[in-house]
Amino acid sequence: MPELPEVETYARQLKPQLLGHSFVDAHVTWPRMVVFPDVESLPIRLRGLKVRDVTRRGKYLKLELSSEAQLLIHLKMSGRLRIEPITVSPEAHDRIRFGLDDGRELRFNDTRKFGRVYLLGPNDQDRSPLNQLGPEPLDETFTVEEFARRLSRRAGAMKPLLLDQSFIAGLGNIYADESLFQARIHPLRRADTLTEQEIESLHSAIRCVLQRSIDCLGVSFDFVYTGGLHDPGATYQCQLQVYQRQGLACSWCGQPIERMVIGGRGTHFCPVCQRR
DNA sequence: TAAATCCTGTCA
DNA sequence: TGACAGGATTTA
């Protein structure tokens, strides 16, 4: 499940591949994945637009295009991206193929069909899903003070809050669990009860965990994200402390990691190190 | 606040 | 064969 570090890795790897190239068309085999514009208009609007930059916002991959347009891609659960010559046969579950001006295609493969694409012009900004996103955790403007202010206004449990993209952008199930563990905060802990020290610790944990994963090209699991474009190289899965480690020894205290369902999501934590 | 929804591969 | 995972949105 691609989260901030995995999408960041894609952005970095796609940028040199796409910069300066124009799109010539788009083939969509699962129309639901195109949110805006309608599927018929997508190839027409996309034709001729040149890639100016490839960046990331939250879990969205953002292709800045000519004419002030932008192509947003959300990989959701099972989305993967590849670039291949048009002469190479598409794979199973290739849902959208974006044709480039040099005979290559950007291929959006998504087994579960949850992935989403938006092509937005300068007049479509009110439709941008980026409008709903909270602060970017690795940005300099995301300060402890800002974090503390936002936490103090929330009475719910920490785990669902960290997954709320309007509270903070980019964290998913893996990094929410890992961050709470590193800060030694129980996932059910009420947000507005965190001490100043805990807030500081969590702020630092979130940034540390994300940055270290980016340095490792993210996490890669079977059949899901493969750590970038063509060379699976993601290694952060080897450094996970709690995620999917229920029953295994906590690296701090040796007690078994537990798993419980919070807000409908599998949640992994150490019952000894993470106090409620 | 919780559950249903969209999906398919995996696993029991 | 049926339960389940899981991001984000929608509905109860």
pLDDT, one tens digit per residue, over A24-58 is 999 999 999 999 999 999 999 999 999 999 999 99
Give SS3 for A241.
coil
Task: Tell me what the mean pLDDT of segment A203-210 comes to.
Answer: 96
Name the closest nucleotide to A161, judged by C1' and CA: B1
A76 is catalytic: no
Please determine, for residue A223, whether its predicted confidence score (pLDDT) is greater than 70. Answer: no
pLDDT score of A24: 98
pLDDT score of A226: 52
% of chain A exceeding 90 in pLDDT: 87
Nearest residue, CA→C1' of C8: A76
What is the C-alpha separation between A268 and A266, in angstroms, rounded?
Answer: 7
Burial A145-157 (b: 16+ CB within 10 A, else e): eebeebbeebeeb
Please determine, for residue A22, whether its predicted confidence score (pLDDT) is greater than 60. Answer: yes
Question: How many Cβ atoms are within 10 Å of A209's Cβ, its own excluded?
Answer: 28
Give the pLDDT band (50/70/90) at residue A220.
Answer: confident
Closest CA to A45 of A68, A13, A16: A68
pLDDT score of A238: 86
What is the C-alpha separation between A244 and A268, in angstroms, rounded?
Answer: 7
Residue A131 backbone dihedrals phi, psi, to 5 degrees: -60, -25
A3 is catalytic: yes
pLDDT score of A230: 52
Evaluate if pTM is beyond 0.85.
Answer: yes
Nearest residue, CA→C1' of B1: A263
**Segment A129-156, tens digit of pLDDT:** 999 999 999 999 999 999 999 999 999 9
pLDDT score of A228: 58
Residue A234 backbone dihedrals phi, psi, to 5 degrees: -65, 135
Please determine, for residue A218, whether its predicted confidence score (pLDDT) is greater than 60. Answer: yes
